[in-house]
Chain A
């Protein structure tokens, strides 16, 4: 019974978050300067034609009416039709989503695979040269500007060494294994730039937590019992230090998406991030709203699932 109550509360909270995100997006895009008709207008169009375009988009109605209509449509699963492309927003996003999943997913995997061992190395060599190098690298990586990293990678590996393509996500006319190889080649640079940007957060967080954990009594006890140091680190300390690090994955999800907007744009990667970037310039409200609903829903659902899983396994969580 407690579990059911816990679950329904969490779902309710998720829905409220989603409604909030949807509403903020709705009003935020309408605060953008200019109007979609002007972004489309050409000099030969008259004011009448511009007003007609606004009316066609439903933008001539009061804001409250637009908002209620939008929420009503959204509840029926209708994301609307793109102002500029005359096609359903859902089609636009579904075409782009797989590429964003590949990019952000692989960036996350690589970050964890490289970042965790680096964090451990830094913590176990605390104060040493290796620790300093890793720390400095982490801080520098975090403070770099995405386009700077992107352009540097493109110049070095795309033009100068010619190892990887300049843009796109896959070559033309490739199938089967060849297609996978092509996708991998196109993925390397954008993935790498995302990794460079976010790995610092993981390394530094893990390092701090691991150092704390290594000073805990249970580690002293383990050492006193004669456990070798690597066992103390990997078996005892790391398990506890990883807890805040995994929480970071959730926190960093928003950052990763933000990074994807810039990364996809620089590397001409055809994901949702690039669609957002283009839609801002074109003031294509339905696509922008749809993209943000999608991203907000992804974050909310991911958090909801984690919450529910914790609740299922740890009775103390659902009591809270």
Chain B
């Protein structure tokens, strides 16, 4: 008997030791081979480099290395450093040159062209030409890839007129076409992606080739993504990135990232900091912060398929029952600006409607409007993503303020996938959420307000809106599109088709040991956009 027990005990401990040793053996990295070590360590750079390593915190792994498929934030941060976009966005929310130098439409709007730089090449030495652009957009159309596929419904075909000129044929005038593909479509190398039987299924998880400032050289899932600077990156001031290396490190959440930043484990946090954390950080002398506006907005939508939300008086009553300024000051700690209840937000200087006015907080007016509509004891449920700290906080304020106007709002903070499912099924009275990026109102507004729009959660179905959408989308210049868009935005505000509450100002934090960051609007571009990371250098 004692032999059996002894054996059990030893089996338990022995198994634990064996498991641990097996794990250890598999995890200890083997030293790189001396002969090829230099090459594999630093494939792009031949000068040895002394620009240092910048460690960036992120809260998620790269899900997919194929930039035409992956669409998570970390995916974009990493792949944007390798697959260049033709345009980027400036502080006024305007699209400006990156890989592209010039672009325009033909007079009838059925053709368009883009000129790209002539000095770009992939890190394996192949030149980046117009052929790569044509290959990319054709792959997106043929295989209906990712986000971009939904933006190119007007696209028919493209040809490379020269190494630097791409000419497009469109089926109808689409004034947002060039800006959309310019900003959203990363250009991939035809000589690599074209080898795969299907671009959609191409994992692109090794032997990366880059035309950005850095190239991925090592991936340790769950831990880090190492990118080395490449020899030439013409968009950088010195013709290449000042840094030698960029490492993305994975942490479970922003709070842990802040611990890591303060302990010196990382130099920069890619994610926007929640307002409470941002306030805390701003007093730290060893850290610097950057503030950029969102390219979207936070809002509530009222489900007009349901009575009595189909009545404009009721929606107005709801809109006047919220103290927006209090939400911006108290919940967001001032890190938000008013959009004057307009879907044309102040982030986009060329579109903003200066005459727009915010819904006034007036519970009495709300009561009157409800009385006019003959609605009593209004009870509604509001759904939101419980994982969003800002919305979870202001949802409570909205509920309490609505109570002042005699409206009962029941809060339903949901797990993210449940929230997405209920939103998609339009199963809500009030939807609270935010758009991350609505950068091209000419085309994006169709998604929001056309009857069949994928994110037309409120159920807008208004012939006047449809007419203005058509007019705006076919306008080929900002001047021509502005009129119909302003008119459309005014109707949206009047009818409370979308209750725009604020535009968040994101805060990012970095160690003071680095300088040269170029923050850009949105959490997508953040301070980790290619232009920014190409110009970061050690502070003196």
Contact = CB atoms under 8 A, between A and B. Distances in A.
Contact of A270 (B24, B223, B416): B223
A38 B255 CA distance: 27
Interface in B400-447: 415-418, 420-421, 424, 435, 444, 447
Interface string B3-20: 111111101110111111
B422 to A, nearest CB: 8
**Residue from B3, B8, B150 whose CB has the most chain A CB atoms within 10 Å:** B8
Given A44-B147, A47-B454, A239-B2, A98 B22 contact: yes
B251 A180 contact: no
Interface string B58-102: 001101101001010000000000000000000000000000000
A102 B256 contact: no
A169 B221 CA distance: 11
B347 to A, nearest CB: 17
B417 A32 contact: yes
B50 interface: no
A296 interface: no
B447 to A, nearest CB: 6
Contacts of B17: 105, 109
A45 B150 contact: yes
A26 interface: no
Nearest to A306: B11
A277 to B, nearest CB: 8
Interface string A163-185: 00111111010111001100100
A271 interface: yes
A112 B259 contact: no
B372 interface: no
Given A47-B454, A302-B15, A268 B420 contact: no
Interface string B21-44: 111111111110000000000000
Interface in A30-66: 32-35, 38-47, 49, 52, 56
Contacts of A183: 24, 27-28
Task: Sort chain A's interface into a size bin.
Answer: 35 or more
A106 B20 contact: yes
Given A172-B247, A270-B223, A246 B9 contact: yes
Given A158-B263, A166-B265, A242 B5 contact: yes
B170 to A, nearest CB: 17
B417 A174 contact: no
A283 to B, nearest CB: 6
A243 B8 contact: yes
Contacts of A169: 27, 222-223
Task: Report which residue of A239, A268, A270, A310 has the largest number of chain B beta carbons within 10 angstroms of its beta carbon.
Answer: A268
Contacts of A103: 23
Contacts, number: 215
A43 B27 CA distance: 40
Given A158-B263, A165-B265, A176-B31, A44 B150 contact: yes
Contact of A170 (B18, B29, B417): B29
B262 A271 contact: no
B420 A39 contact: yes
Given A101-B23, A281-B416, A166 B222 contact: no
A42 B259 CA distance: 32
Nearest to A167: B251
B260 interface: yes
Residue of A92, A167, A302 contacting most chain B CB atoms (<10 Å): A167
Contacts of B28: 175-176, 179-180, 183
B155 to A, nearest CB: 13
18 contacts: A42-B147, A43-B455, A44-B151, A44-B444, A44-B447, A85-B63, A96-B221, A97-B23, A102-B19, A103-B23, A108-B12, A168-B223, A168-B250, A169-B27, A169-B223, A246-B9, A268-B252, A313-B4
Interface of A: 32-35, 38-47, 49, 52, 56, 84-87, 92, 95-106, 108-109, 112, 151, 154-155, 158-159, 162, 165-170, 172, 174-176, 179-180, 183, 239-240, 242-243, 246, 249, 265-271, 274-275, 278, 281-283, 302, 305-306, 309-310, 313-314
Given A102-B23, A166-B259, 15 more contacts: A38-B417, A39-B420, A44-B454, A86-B64, A98-B22, A98-B24, A98-B25, A100-B23, A102-B27, A106-B20, A166-B265, A268-B223, A268-B250, A278-B61, A306-B8
**Which are the 7 A-B pairs with shortest beta-carbon distances?**
A270-B222, A34-B417, A105-B20, A44-B150, A101-B23, A102-B23, A98-B26
